[in-house]
């Protein structure tokens, strides 16, 4: 992108970067992104949800990003594109790049002599890098991270503060792991004998692909025998638990507080809503959408939208419905009895 002494980025340059059609003054300088409601001079906002369309008439943004159907709703300079939200993501990444610390190893960090750390990597305060670990080019390891023995961090990986990678974990290039995440802890592998539990050694790894995002305090267990695998471009929110030997297919997005029990395979391009609970040893088809708070107890072989959580109701109405739901089994038994030959008068 051409350099300029003037602050901000020209709107025409943002249009080219986002693959959008420019309508208006391409020389407008944009400093930052904003919402339609709170935008001001030097900002660019976007419209992706039609409930906010009236705000196009009142926004103080310098420019907006809109779909073709909304282009005539505002006289502001605009970027017109079929997917305004995706264009906004590209624009925001350009205007607000993540800060990059200087390469080098902080004096308080401990790097095992057998580790291979690229000269362009950044190792922050009080980091521990274990034996025979590999840290790739331009990778950033935040303060107080612990990276176990024989782990592999690809190029341009970013570990935020306090991440723990157990030994032999693998993180692919450009992946980001946020603060407090724990990758590669023992899976919940125990066997019962005579009323006591025997711990089963977990000898697999966690293998994370490229361009994966893992949220704060998310935990991913190592495999019991084979590996737990997070494929390319998976996006995991905060406080997710993924059990041992799971496979999460490429381009799948999972919202916060989801729990996935061991040995479940989630397909590619799936979307799982917050607080959904998925039992172990299941198969979830590619392209499946699971609503928030849904419990999944059987495999899903056909893609679609699956929902099990009951929508919120006023408490008194919920109690009324729950009382009838509790009686459904008895009601079904009575109907079945009535349908027996000789009971309805149709057969005798």
As a three-state string, the secondary structure of 268-325 is CCCEECCCCEECCCCEECCCCEECCCCEECCCECCCCEECCCCCCCCHHHHHHHHHHH
Residue 340 is predicted with a pLDDT of 84
Q: What is the mean pLDDT of residues 114-138?
A: 98
The two structure tokens encoding residue 101:
């610390």
116 strand-pairing partners: 134
Q: Name which of 81, 32, 31, 41 is nearest 62 in CA terms.
A: 41
The distance between the two most distant Cα atoms of the chain, rounded to a whole number of Å, is 96
CATH superfamily assigned to domain 9-95: MurE/MurF, N-terminal domain (3.40.1390.10)
Give the position of tokens 């990778």: 139
What is residue 44's three-state secondary structure? strand
What is the tens place of the pLDDT at every residue in 148-176? 999 999 999 999 999 999 999 999 999 99
DSSP state letter for 167: T
**pLDDT for residue 7 is more than 50:** yes
Q: What is the mean pLDDT of residues 6-35?
A: 97
The pTM score is 0.92
Is residue 4 very low, low, confident or very high in pLDDT (cuts 50, 70, 90)?
low
Residue 126: which H helix or E strand, with range? none
- Same topology, domains 9-95 and 104-306? Answer is no
Q: What percent of the chain has pLDDT over 90?
A: 93
What is the tens place of the pLDDT at every residue in 46-62? 999 999 999 999 999 99
Residue 310 is predicted with a pLDDT of 85
Residue 319 is predicted with a pLDDT of 94
**pLDDT for residue 343 is more than 80:** no
Q: How many Å apart are CA 126 and CA 139, to the nearest integer?
A: 16
The two structure tokens encoding residue 119:
């000269």
What is the tens place of the pLDDT at every residue in 274-307? 999 999 999 999 999 999 999 999 999 999 999 9
DSSP state letter for 52: G
Q: Catalytic: which of 244, 251, 269, 315?
A: 244
Q: What is the mean pLDDT of residues 116-131?
A: 98
Residue 125: which H helix or E strand, with range? none
**pLDDT for residue 345 is more than 60:** no
The two structure tokens encoding residue 163:
């991440």
Q: How far is CA 281 from CA 37, 123, 298, 299, 337, in A?
A: 46, 39, 9, 8, 37
Q: Name which of 135, 132, 124, 131 is nearest 160 in CA terms.
A: 124
The second-level CATH assignment, the architecture, of 104-306 is 3 Solenoid (2.160)
What is the distance between the terminal CA atoms of the chain, rounded to a whole angstrom?
87
Is residue 348 very low, low, confident or very high in pLDDT (cuts 50, 70, 90)?
very low
Q: How many Å apart are CA 26 and CA 274, to the nearest integer?
A: 40
Residue 309 is predicted with a pLDDT of 87
Tally of residues, the chain: 348
What is the tens place of the pLDDT at every residue in 134-148? 999 999 999 999 999
Q: What is the mean pLDDT of residues 104-111?
A: 98
Give the position of tokens 């027996």: 340
Q: What percent of the chain has pLDDT over 70?
A: 97
> Which residues fall within 8 angstroms of residue 12, CB to CB, at 6 or more apart?
22, 26, 27
Per DSSP (E only), the strands in 20-150 are 21-23, 29-30, 32-33, 43-46, 63-66, 77-80, 104-105, 110-111, 116-117, 122-123, 128-129, 134-135, 140-141, 146-147
Task: Estimate the crossing angle of helix 328-338 against helix 315-326, to 10 degrees.
Answer: 40
Residue 311 is predicted with a pLDDT of 87
What is the tens place of the pLDDT at every residue in 211-223? 999 999 999 999 9
The two structure tokens encoding residue 213:
């995002």
Where do the domains of the chain lie?
9-95, 104-306, 314-348
DSSP state letter for 219: E
269 is catalytic: no
């Amino acid at each position: 992108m051409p350099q300029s002494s003037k602050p901000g980025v020209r709107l025409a340059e943002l249009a080219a970067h986002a693959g959008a059609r420019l309508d208006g003054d391409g020389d407008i300088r944009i400093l930052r992104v904003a919402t339609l409601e709170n935008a001001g001079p030097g900002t660019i906002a976007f419209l992706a949800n039609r409930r906010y369309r009236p705000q196009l008439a009142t926004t103080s943004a310098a420019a907006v990003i809109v779909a073709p159907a909304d282009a005539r709703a505002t006289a502001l300079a605009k970027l017109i594109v079929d997917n305004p939200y995706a264009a906004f993501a590209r624009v925001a990444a350009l205007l607000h790049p993540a800060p990059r610390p200087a390469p080098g190893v902080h004096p308080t960090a401990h790097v095992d002599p057998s580790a291979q750390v690229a000269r362009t990597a950044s190792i922050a305060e009080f980091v521990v890098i274990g034996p025979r670990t590999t840290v790739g080019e331009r990778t950033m390891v935040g303060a107080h991270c612990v990276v176990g023995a024989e782990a592999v961090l690809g190029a341009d990986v970013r570990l935020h503060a306090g991440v723990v990678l157990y030994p032999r974990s693998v993180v692919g290039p450009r992946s980001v792991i946020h603060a407090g995440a724990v990758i590669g802890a023992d899976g919940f592998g125990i066997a019962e004998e005579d009323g006591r539990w025997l711990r089963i050694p977990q000898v697999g790894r966690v293998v994370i692909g490229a361009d994966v995002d893992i949220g704060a305090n998310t935990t991913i267990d190592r495999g019991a025998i084979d590996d737990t695998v997070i494929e390319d471009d998976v996006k995991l929110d905060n406080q997710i638990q993924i059990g041992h030997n799971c496979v999460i297919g490429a381009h799948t997005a999972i919202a916060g507080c989801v729990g996935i029990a061991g040995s479940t395979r989630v397909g590619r391009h799936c979307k799982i809503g917050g607080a959904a609970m998925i039992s172990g040893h299941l198969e979830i088809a590619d392209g499946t959408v699971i609503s928030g708070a849904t419990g999944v107890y059987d495999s899903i072989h056909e893609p679609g939208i699956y929902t099990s959580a009951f929508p919120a109701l006023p408490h008194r109405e919920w109690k009324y419905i729950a009382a009838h739901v509790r009686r459904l089994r008895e009601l079904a038994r009575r109907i079945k009895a009535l349908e027996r030959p000789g009971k309805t008068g149709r057969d005798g």
